[in-house]
Amino acid sequence: MKNLYDVVVVGSGPGGLAAAISAKKNGAADVLIIERDMELGGILLQCIHNGFGLEIFGKDMPGPSYAQHFIEEALSLGVEVLLDTMVLDVRPDLSVIMMNKRDGIQEVQARAIVLAMGCRERTRAQILLPGTRPAGVYSAGTAQRWVNIEGFMPGNRFVILGSGDIGMIMARRLTIEGAKVERVLEIMPYLTGLTRNYVQCLMDYDITLQKSHTINRIIGDKRVEAVESVAVDEKWNPIPGSEEIIPCDTVLLSVGLIPENELSKNVGVTLDPLTGGPIVDNHFMTSRPGIFAAGNVVHVYDLVDWVTEAGFAAGKGAAVYALQGEVAGVKQIALKAGENIRYVVPHLLDIDSLRSESTRLQLRVTQPVEERVRIIVEDEQGDILAKKAEPYARPGEIITLEIKPDAYEMAKKAQKITINCVTVAQKQTTG
Amino acid sequence: MPQESELICVTCPKGCTLKVLHEGNQVIDVLGSGCRRGKEYAICELQDPRRMVASSVKVRSGLHPLLPVYTAKAFPKPLIPELAKILRQVEVSAPVKINQVIIENALNTGIDIIASRDMPKL
C-alpha cells in the first residue's frame, strides 16, 4: 500500500467499482478501494435474481454476474484493493483512517475521495412495530444474505411487511426454496417497489399482497407465532374490526432503505433531509471539496445501472479533482423540485459541463399519477431545457431524464431551474 | 369472441401495462407497450409463459457454502416448481467459473442452468 493515492473509494458495490474504474480511465494513476467485506461486489453478491444490466449491457444478468464484470475490469485496470478493512474516519484534509485485523489502524492520504457506502435497511425500531420481541423478526436484506450466501433458512412460514423490491424478491426466493409466504402487507395504498416485481415475484407464486395494511402487533414469546394485521386509513390509523391473526414463524421487514452516511456526517458533508444523502452537483461532488459520493449513499436508486452511471461520473470528477484541484465551472445552479416532485438528484448543475456532456437527472414524484404525465425542466422564463413524457408516475419508481448540451445556451442565462411533473391535461389548460 | 386482458410486461423495469386484445391464446392487438418487446411478451405470456429463474446450489469447499445459478434463458413457468426442487438437491465442487454449466438441458427444455459468478476454492 502507498501513503498517497489520487483517489480513494470507500466501498466496492456498483457505485464504488464504477468510480474506481472511471477514475483510472480519466487519468488517476493510483486508485484504492477500501472494502469491509471479504470480497469485492457489495450487496449485488446477495442479489442473485435477474434484472440487472438491461440499461448498460442490454442484457438481463443476475447481480453476482453484473458485479463480477466490474470487479474484473477494476482489477485489470490496476485498481488496488484492501479487503476486510473498515474505514473509521474520513477527514476534511482528505485523509482516511481505516482498520483491519492484519495491519491494525492505518492512515492513507487521498487527493480525492469517493464515498460509496451504499445504504442500510430501516429496522423494526425505526417503524415502531408493536408487540412482543421474539426471535424471527429480520430485515429482508439480512434474510437475503442468509438464504443466498450463507445457506440458512430463517423460517418456514413468512409474513413480509412492506412491498419494497427486496421484500417482494425475497417472497419469491423463499417460495423457490420451499418456504410458505403467507402474506405481504403494505401500509401505503400503492406498491412501493417496481410493478414488474409484483407480477413476477408475487402474482406468479400466488402470494397475496394487501395494500393499506400493516402489522398491528407481533405475537410470540420466544419465537414469532403469528402477526395481527390490520387495515389502515389514509392517515395510517388502524381501522377497528379489520384485525386478522396470521400464523407464521418469521416476519421480514422491507420498509425502506436509508443512505449510509455516518462517515459523510463526521467529515461535515451537507446532507439533504429528503434523500438522506449528500447534496451533490452533477460531478457528484459533495459540499466538501474533493469528497465525492456515488450510488445509494446519495439516494436510493431502483436500478443498479444508474448507480454504475453515477459511479462513472463521480470517479471522473474525483480524477479531475485529484489532478487539477477543482472540477466544476464558476456557475452552478440549483435544480429545484417543483410540482409533484419529491426530490431531484443531482441538486446542483455545473453549467459549464453542459457544454460538452449531458447530465442525467433522477427524480421521484410525491403523489402517484395514473395517467400520462410530462416531466418538464424549465427556467424562470418558462423556457424548457428538457422534458420527458411518461405513461404514469409512481413514487416507488424513479424517473430519469437527461439535460442535453443543446440546452447549454438556455442554461447559461437561467437564474433558476425547476423540475415539474404535470399531467398532460394540466399542461393543456395552463398552456 | 375477442376479449381484452390486462398484462404487465416484465421484460424490463419499466413494467408497461399492456391491453391485450385476444381470442383464446391468439393475440390480435397489443396496446400500451413502450417498445416492440411488449407485443412479444404478450404473445409468449398467452401461449407459453416463461420466466428467468435464479436460485442457488450447494458448493463443496468454496469461499461460500452456496453458488448462485440461473437459467441461461427464460424458463417455462409451469416447470419452475420442479426445477426449484431439483436445484435444492444439486451439489457441486469449487472452483467454479462464471457461466459454467451446472445442469445441462434442465428438464429437457434445452435450457442450461449456469453459474452466476466465480466461486473460488477456499
Question: Domain-by-domain residue ranges, chain B?
Answer: 3-47, 54-115
Task: Say whether B80 and A176 touch across the interface (CB within 8 A).
Answer: yes
Q: Are residues A159 and A272 in the same domain?
A: no
To the question of pTM greater than 0.80 for the whole model, the response is yes
Q: Are residues A24 and A69 in the same domain?
A: yes
Report the distance separating Cα B14 and Cα B16, nearest Å.
Answer: 6
The closest of A359, A356, A355, A350 to A330, measured between CA atoms, is: A350
Q: Are residues A133 and A234 in the same domain?
A: yes
Phi, psi of A339 (to 5 degrees): -60, 125
Query: Which among B53, B56, B116 has the least Cβ separation from residue A65?
Result: B116
pLDDT category of residue A428 using cuts at 50, 70 and 90: low
Residues A248-284: tens digit of each pLDDT: 999 999 999 999 999 999 999 999 999 999 999 999 9
pLDDT of A225 > 50? The answer is: yes
Query: Which among B17, B51, B64 has the least Cβ separation from residue A200?
Result: B51
pLDDT of A431 > 50? The answer is: no
Task: Say whether A64 and B68 touch across the interface (CB within 8 A).
Answer: yes
* Structural element, H or E, at residue A142: helix A140-145
Q: Are residues A113 and A195 in the same domain?
A: no
Q: What pLDDT, on the 0 to 100 scale, is given for residue A125? A: 86
Q: How far is A170 from chain B (nearest CA, A)?
A: 11
- A99: exposed, middle or buried (Cβ count in 10 Å: 0-12, 13-18, 19+): middle
Cα–chain center distance at A104: 31
Q: What pLDDT, on the 0 to 100 scale, is given for residue A93? A: 97
Number of domains in chain A: 3
Q: What pLDDT, on the 0 to 100 scale, is given for residue A121? A: 95
pLDDT of A194 > 90? The answer is: no
Task: Say whether B10 and A62 touch across the interface (CB within 8 A).
Answer: no
Q: Are residues A251 and A142 in the same domain?
A: yes
Q: Are residues A127 and A249 in the same domain?
A: yes
Asked whether the beta carbons of A115 and A11 are under 8 A apart, the reply is yes
Query: Which among A51, A67, A147 has the least Cβ separation from residue B13?
Result: A51
The amino acid occupying position B44 is: C
Q: Are residues A238 and A145 in the same domain?
A: yes
Q: Are residues A299 and A344 in the same domain?
A: no
Cell numbers that stand for A382 in this block: 418558462
The closest of A117, A166, A145, A74 to A295, measured between CA atoms, is: A117
Q: Give the structural domain span for A347.
A: 329-431
DSSP A264: H
Cα–chain center distance at B93: 24
Residues from chain A contacting residue B116 (CB–CB below 8 Å): 48, 62-65
Residues from chain A contacting residue B61 (CB–CB below 8 Å): none
Q: Which fold has domain B54-115?
A: CPE0013-like fold (3.10.530)
Place of cell 436508486: A301
SS (H, E, C) chain B: CCEEEEEECCCCCCCCEEEEEEECCEEEEEECCCCCHHHHHHHHHHHCCEECCEEEEEEECECCCEEEEEECCCEEHHHHHHHHHHHCCCEEECCECCCCEEECCHHHCCCCEEECCCECEC
Q: Is the peptide bond before A346 cis (omega within 30 degrees of 0)?
A: yes
Look at phi and psi of residue B27 and say left if phi exceeds 0, alpha if psi is from -120 to 50, else beta: beta
Cell numbers that stand for B68 in this block: 448462485
The residue of chain B nearest to residue A203, with distances taken between CA atoms, is B8
The closest of A277, A321, A288 to A91, measured between CA atoms, is: A288
Task: Say whether A51 and B84 touch across the interface (CB within 8 A).
Answer: no
pLDDT of A429 > 70? The answer is: no
pLDDT category of residue A130 using cuts at 50, 70 and 90: confident
Q: Are residues A251 and A152 in the same domain?
A: yes
The closest of A346, A273, A352 to A310, measured between CA atoms, is: A346
We find that the CATH architecture of domain B3-47 is Single Sheet (2.20)
DSSP A47: -
CA distances from A362 to A271, A278, A298, A345, A370 (A): 17, 14, 11, 5, 20
Task: Say whether A150 and B65 touch across the interface (CB within 8 A).
Answer: yes
The closest of B19, B12, B122 to B65, measured between CA atoms, is: B122
Residues ≥6 apart with Cβ < 8 Å to A241: none
Among the candidates A328, A358, A373, a domain finishes at A328
pLDDT of A112 > 90? The answer is: yes
CATH of the domain at A23: 3.50.50.60
Return mean pLDDT, chain A.
Answer: 95
Which residues of B touch chain A, with CB atoms under 8 Å apart?
A: 8-10, 12-17, 32, 34, 51-56, 58, 63-66, 68, 70, 77, 80, 84, 87-88, 98-99, 116-118
Residue A372 has, within 13 A of its CA and on its CB side, a CA count of 9
**What torsion do the CA atoms of A71, A73, A79, A82 make, to the nearest 10 degrees?**
10
Report the distance separating Cα A382 and Cα A393, nearest Å.
Answer: 22
Query: Which among B15, B58, B66 has the least Cβ separation from residue A149?
Result: B66
DSSP A290: T
Q: Strands A180-186 and A157-161, how do they pair? A: parallel
- Sign of the torsion angle spanned by Cα atoms A151, B88, B52, B44: negative
Report the distance separating Cα B17 and Cα B23, nearest Å.
Answer: 19
Cell numbers that stand for A46 in this block: 446477495
Cell numbers that stand for A123 in this block: 429496522
Q: Are residues A219 and A147 in the same domain?
A: yes
Q: What pLDDT, on the 0 to 100 scale, is given for residue A163? A: 94
Q: Are residues A336 and A388 in the same domain?
A: yes
Q: What pLDDT, on the 0 to 100 scale, is given for residue B12? A: 80
The closest of A287, A398, A294 to A342, measured between CA atoms, is: A398
Report the distance separating Cα A54 and Cα B65, nearest Å.
Answer: 29
Q: What pLDDT, on the 0 to 100 scale, is given for residue A329? A: 79
